[in-house]
Amino acid sequence: MTETDLLNLTYSNITDARQDMSRLLQERSRHLSLPRSLYNDPLLFRVDMEEVFMKEWLFVGMTCEVPAAGNYITVDIGQNPVLIVRDRDGEVRAFHNVCRHRGSRVCTGAKGKVANITCPYHQWTYDLKGNLIFAGSDMGDDFDKSQFSLKPAHCKTAGGFIYVSLAEGEPPAIDDYLATLATYMEPYDMENAKVAAEVTLEENANWKLVIENNRECYHCSGSHPELLRTLLEWDDTNDPRATPEFLALCESQSAKWDAEGIPHKHAEFGLRNRLVRMPLKEGTAVMTMDGKPACKLNMGRIQNQELGSLRILHLPNSWNHMQSDHAIVFQVIPVSAQKTLVTTKWLVHKDAVEGQDYDVEKLRYVWDQTNKQDRTLAEQNQRGINSLAYQPGPYSKTYEFGVINFLDWYSDAVLKNLPGTAQ
């Protein structure tokens, strides 16, 4: 089968799609973009959802969004509604947001606070650990409530981040990354933070195009004037394009971070997770239009406002920037083969008062503009890929090495998870 044939495949059933997904990924060139069907075919998208988003660890929110017992948030992962709630012992738990009676969604809001979890359909009620505690008197004397608890999902937290996996069996190992994340996030005390602003953009593009766009700054100089007022384009000190001047700035800033006990060294866990603190442009403190702090209260125990940005990557669905006065977290959730939701949250110290300690517009402006610009880029990329003229094109090994790394991780993850194709 030629590459042209592969590019023009159509799939009549999910079995064919799985077989061709395996073939496409095993035969792809690491330094070329993917074949068209991997960006736009509905059945291959279904394989993505089943083998990546229903098996890998996903970033779903921050622990400060569920600050007390009964606080919850919800997220839809494909056709799977998920509930995240803090129980009365302080543990953050995740459940399939599906009533064990007749399958109705239990919590219908995006967030809220409850004493117990009650399905609005027939009032079956669960405690905060997911145990069924009320099903009425009409189920019969032999009805065993203990057999109808909410179905749990794997849930882990570290450094204020909440990760969930819908894997039926054991999910991928992640504890080493979480331990490092907790150490790097300690200065921010994220349990005592709050979401100051949140926005979700619907992008008419495949989720992989959204991630690819994020993993390179090749496009930044032509597309992100607001962001580049403070951001240095280099990904980290291992960036093959790093200049001597940039490395000298990193060394100078590192001495200041060390003096304050701020972790900053490059840490990576395969291609899926990476943490590194990078300086911003000299004379700027945070990612705002003037480079000055957007909030009068620093995060946690931080003293030095010129802390740069702690960049945290978590594949397949999150990148993040932690700064001295505020944090910005990003969540990617696929909707269909050519539609993706990108949610951005801006977090500040929980005691910061809007209008007094921070201005929401200043806080949001740079990344609001950047997100809109990136949405346009991803959507135009998708429209071009849909064309019959599209064929995989070459990545730059310097400017786009992050994209190459992402697609290597994606390919390995799918092939590992697809039955019969483990590498």
pLDDT tens-digit series, residues 100-117: 999 999 999 999 999 999
Going by C-alpha positions, the residue among 348, 346, 347, 314 that lies closest to residue 332 is 314
Cβ distance 268 to 274 under 8 Å?
yes
For residue range 181-206, what is the model confidence (pLDDT) as tens digits? 999 999 999 999 999 999 999 999 99
Measured CA angle at 133 (ends 127, 137), to 5 deg: 150
Residue 94: pLDDT band with limits 50, 70, 90: very high
CATH top class, domain 176-385:
alpha beta
Residue 4 has pLDDT above 70, yes or no: no
Domain spans of the chain, in order of start: 3-55+403-417, 58-171, 176-385
pLDDT at 419: 80
Confidence band, pLDDT 50/70/90 cuts, at residue 235: confident
Q: What is the pTM of this model?
A: 0.95
Where is average pLDDT lowest: 3-12, 152-161, 209-218, 252-261?
3-12
| Chain centre distance of CA 326 | 18
Segment 1-15 mean pLDDT: 56
CATH superfamily of 58-171: Rieske [2Fe-2S] iron-sulphur domain (2.102.10.10)
Task: Indicate whether 9 pLDDT > 60.
Answer: no
| pLDDT level of residue 11 (50, 70, 90 thresholds) | low
DSSP 191: G
pLDDT digits (tens, 9 = 90+) for 387-419: 999 999 999 999 999 999 999 999 999 999 998
| Measured distance CA(225)–CA(212) in Å, rounded | 20
With cut-offs at 50, 70 and 90, classify the pLDDT of residue 34: very high
> 173's torsion region: left (phi>0), alpha (psi -120 to 50) or beta?
beta
Question: Which CA distances in Å does 285 have to 41, 323, 365?
Answer: 43, 8, 15
For helices 401-417 and 14-27, the axis angle rounded to 10 degrees is 140
How many Å apart are CA 63 and CA 176, to the nearest integer?
A: 19
| Mean pLDDT for the stretch of residues 35-59 | 97
Average pLDDT, the chain: 94
Residue at 264: amino acid letter: H
Residue 8 has pLDDT above 80, yes or no: no
Distant-in-sequence contacts of 129-137, Cβ < 8 A, 24+ apart = 129/87, 129/93, 130/93, 130/95, 132/100, 135/101
314 Cβ contact list (under 8 Å, min separation 6): 57, 59, 161, 163, 272, 273, 320
Q: What are the tens digits of pLDDT across the range 271-300? A: 999 999 999 999 999 999 999 999 999 999
Q: Which pLDDT score is estimated for 138?
A: 85
Cβ–Cβ < 8 Å for 301, 286: no
pLDDT digits (tens, 9 = 90+) for 137-167: 788 888 999 999 999 999 999 999 999 999 9
**pLDDT of 3 over the 50 cut:** no
